[in-house]
Structure 1
Amino acid sequence: MSSLVEKIVLEPSPSYPLYTLATRHSIGPRDTYNSSDLVLICLHAVGCHKEAWDPTIDHLFNLERKSLHRHGRIREVYSIDCPNHGESAIVNAEILNTHYKDSWTTREYARAVYAFLMAGPTRGAKVDFRKRRIVVVGHCLGAVASFFMHELNPPIRLEAVIAFDPAFSPGLDYPDYREVFRKFQYWTWLRPSVWPSRKAALKDLRERPLYKTWDPAVLRSFVEHGLSDHPGSKYPEPYKFSGVVMSTTKEQEAATYRSDDFVGEPMEALRMTASKTPVHLIWGKIEDILPNHLKYTISNHTNLASVEYIEEAGHLIVQQKPRLVAEKIHDRILLLNSARAVL
């Protein structure tokens, strides 16, 4: 039994000026759900897109189908674009170029997710999420954005937050963060972004040191959903270029990394979130981006529901090990349901 997949568009409104695009994955029609079922909201990393979660979601639903538990089942998963990333970056291109060309904050992603969840039964997903049991699952940027959601009012009650490798610095007095974000900037500006076709892009990326570590399904999803027609395709022959380009522009990706919301403030946002909601941190222990001592500092200064360090994973755990990520999510859901059963 495969999951049902539906694309959702939340149009701009007075409360939020950008399009917010999402993908809904579900098992069965909505009228088969009960009040204990869970809704997962998946938020992606910088430079990625909502479909980066697709392989993880597939594995997660397979685990759900095999599971014997009947309380707190995962029946729906929504993966939501950051509005300046992926397909959303294309539909928002005009306003991004006008008002967000050199600046994008992590809080903006939190605002977009909040707008999506508060849209009500007549817009966007057409669901009253205030009546649902919501678990937010975030990676990198998406994890940090989930911490900032506590600032928005009226508040949305979350059952839990599961954060994979949230890349931020606890404060300005940690010099390592400068090197971390210097790496991010170099990576953004130097990475390949244009190819003559999707087939050529897939062949090229498979041979590059970083991308060859990605799970094949995630890489295929990136080529299918993270690339779009090159602007040169609009011209007539002989000037036409029918290639593809990354949907998230380098300018927007670099602006996202420059956000002040990655330094200092996420620490307090994490503390505030953890004081109200069970927060599970899951780190990749390979020191490819964030030094382990920063991970320990973040984890040890917060009242967390759980912390785990995965030996065989680095920062890009969602891209490299989607099956393992699904297993970790499923484990936390079982833990959440066990705690609820005790109550």
Structure 2
Amino acid sequence: MPLTFEEYGFDPRPQFPFLVTLKRYPNLVTEQTGFTLILAHGTGFHKEVWEPIIERIFAESAKPNGLKIRDAWAIDAPNHGDAAVLNAALLKSGAYDITFSWENYSRAINLILAGLGTFTDGKNRLVRLDFANRRLVGIGHSMGAVSLALAHTFYPTVKFDSLVFIEPMLLTARHFKALKHDIKLHEIALARRDFWESKEEALTSFSTKGMKSWDKRVMKLFVEFGLRETTKDDPFNQPGVTLKCAKLQESSTFRDRTSQVLAFDFVESLCSGTPVHVIWGAIDDYIPARVKGDIHDNGFRGQLASIQRIAGCGHLAPLVQPDAVADAILKAFNSTVTTLTAKSRL
């Protein structure tokens, strides 16, 4: 069945300064008692890049004996995607030019799931949303995985039935020196192109350069939802399109080196109360194999519910191999549901 969505806004002020944007994707083939997926993206991306993965998961859930999945919710980080547009004035204040903490994303997720704010629909009408009695499954990529982990460290506590981390950036201070592109990422973000005459030109440019290995569906979604029309406040002096997540904000997000360490030190405790699964790309293109081993041994300390590796991709697995990532998520999810069902029979 075609993927449909509902758009929502979330305003947690005055408890938190940022507005947040999210989308609900209802699964039309299962009853309302199923699981709710909560999806958090990586640095430089936005909530819509999850759509091919959601579509695949929903299609598999429609099969006989498929998992009962109620819906999926994808959430923008406050300085990414549509949220960045809403928070433009605050982001231009200068307070977040040097470093944008990933804990801002964690807090946004926590507040949404705890309902500590007001929700509006796509027509800006107040609506009531309640996640309190839902069976939540968190799925995060890179920064999104760290943000989901740290969402547990805020109060009120949000309970997930299980968590799936894809290429999680759980790092210690010594790990940063081992990362293959670490000292360059914030510089690369600042140097990247951020103006095109049209979305069509941007798509052509992405298809022939750094994003050419991406799944074409994901690339189109990145262009459709990750770019906006320029305004008089932009420095380009001509009409066209630019990044919703300004390159200065992407760079400042890459500069955060605290959240990863906090999450590394926390995940063993997290595993004691929640099944946590990790999915890696088989190509160690950003996080070296020895660092991944240290994350397993000294971060999770052997407490993971499962570990999988996906052939033909590396750190950007959800963007390069979304179908394979969806299948791996379902495999991890299935193992958790089977275990919980078995325990309930004891």
- Give the TM-score, by structure 2 length: 0.90
Q: Whole-Å Cα distance in 1 between the matches of residues 159 and 284 of structure 2?
A: 34
1:39 aligned counterpart, secondary structure:
strand
- 2:78 corresponds in structure 1 to 83
Q: Whole-Å Cα distance in 2 between the matches of residues 276 and 89 of structure 1?
A: 33
Q: Which runs of 5+ in 1 are unaligned?
A: none
Q: CA deviation at 1:190?
A: 2.5
Q: Sort the Cα spacing of 1:122 and 1:12 in 2 relative to 1 into closer, same or farther, 3 A.
A: closer
Q: What is the root-mean-square deviation in Å for CA atoms of aligned residues?
A: 2.2
Q: Higher helix fraction: Structure 1 or Structure 2?
A: 1
Q: CA deviation at 1:11?
A: 1.9
- 1:33 corresponds in structure 2 to 32
- 2:154 corresponds in structure 1 to 152
Q: Sort the Cα spacing of 1:29 and 1:214 in 2 relative to 1 into closer, same or farther, 3 A.
A: closer
Q: Sort the Cα spacing of 1:65 and 1:146 in 2 relative to 1 into closer, same or farther, 3 A.
A: same
**Partners of 2:11 and 2:118 within 8 A in 1:** no
- 2:290 corresponds in structure 1 to 293
**Partners of 2:114 and 2:156 within 8 A in 1:** no
- 1:97 corresponds in structure 2 to 92
Q: CA deviation at 1:12?
A: 3.7
**Partners of 1:120 and 1:128 within 8 A in 2:** no
Q: Whole-Å Cα distance in 2 between the matches of residues 272 and 304 of structure 1?
A: 11
Q: CA deviation at 1:148?
A: 0.6
Q: CA deviation at 1:240?
A: 5.9
Q: CA deviation at 1:272?
A: 2.1
Q: Sort the Cα spacing of 1:182 and 1:240 in 2 relative to 1 into closer, same or farther, 3 A.
A: closer
- 2:248 corresponds in structure 1 to 251
**Partners of 1:165 and 1:315 within 8 A in 2:** yes
Q: CA deviation at 1:285?
A: 2.3
Q: Deviations over 1:39-89 (max 9, x none)?
A: 0000000000000101111111111112424xx511200000000011111
Q: Whole-Å Cα distance in 2 between the matches of residues 338 and 121 of structure 1?
A: 35
Q: Whole-Å Cα distance in 2 between the matches of residues 256 and 240 of structure 1?
A: 27
**Partners of 2:53 and 2:326 within 8 A in 1:** yes
Q: Whole-Å Cα distance in 1 between the matches of residues 318 and 289 of structure 2?
A: 18
Q: Sort the Cα spacing of 1:165 and 1:233 in 2 relative to 1 into closer, same or farther, 3 A.
A: same
Q: Deviations over 1:121-156 (max 9, x none)?
A: 963573321200001000000001111112111211
**Partners of 1:121 and 1:127 within 8 A in 2:** no
Q: Which amino acid aligns with 1:166?
A: P
Mapping for residues 205-284 of structure 1, pairs under 5 Å? 205-208=206-209, 210-232=210-232, 241-284=238-281
Q: Sort the Cα spacing of 1:330 and 1:101 in 2 relative to 1 into closer, same or farther, 3 A.
A: same
What count of residue pairs does the alignment treat as equivalent?
333
- 2:167 corresponds in structure 1 to 165
**Partners of 1:167 and 1:262 within 8 A in 2:** no
Match of 2:48 among 36, 42, 51: 51
**Partners of 1:110 and 1:145 within 8 A in 2:** yes
**Partners of 1:21 and 1:88 within 8 A in 2:** yes
Q: Whole-Å Cα distance in 2 between the matches of residues 313 and 226 of structure 1?
A: 22
> Does 1:196 pair with 2:197?
yes
**Partners of 1:281 and 1:307 within 8 A in 2:** yes
Q: Sort the Cα spacing of 1:78 and 1:248 in 2 relative to 1 into closer, same or farther, 3 A.
A: same
Q: Sort the Cα spacing of 1:281 and 1:229 in 2 relative to 1 into closer, same or farther, 3 A.
A: same
Q: CA deviation at 1:269?
A: 2.0
**Partners of 1:121 and 1:128 within 8 A in 2:** no
Q: Sort the Cα spacing of 1:90 and 1:326 in 2 relative to 1 into closer, same or farther, 3 A.
A: same
Q: Deviations over 1:278-334 (max 9, x none)?
A: 110111121221111101110123111111222322000010011111111111221
Q: Whole-Å Cα distance in 2 between the matches of residues 4 and 271 of structure 1?
A: 37
**Partners of 2:11 and 2:117 within 8 A in 1:** no
Q: Which amino acid aligns with 1:101?
A: D
Answer with 290-299 or 260-269: which moved more. 260-269
Q: Sort the Cα spacing of 1:46 and 1:288 in 2 relative to 1 into closer, same or farther, 3 A.
A: same
- 2:104 corresponds in structure 1 to 108
Q: CA deviation at 1:27?
A: 1.9
Q: CA deviation at 1:261?
A: 2.5
Q: Whole-Å Cα distance in 2 between the matches of residues 176 and 319 of structure 1?
A: 26
Q: Whole-Å Cα distance in 1 between the matches of residues 3 and 11 of structure 2?
A: 25
- 2:181 corresponds in structure 1 to 180
Q: Sort the Cα spacing of 1:87 and 1:121 in 2 relative to 1 into closer, same or farther, 3 A.
A: closer
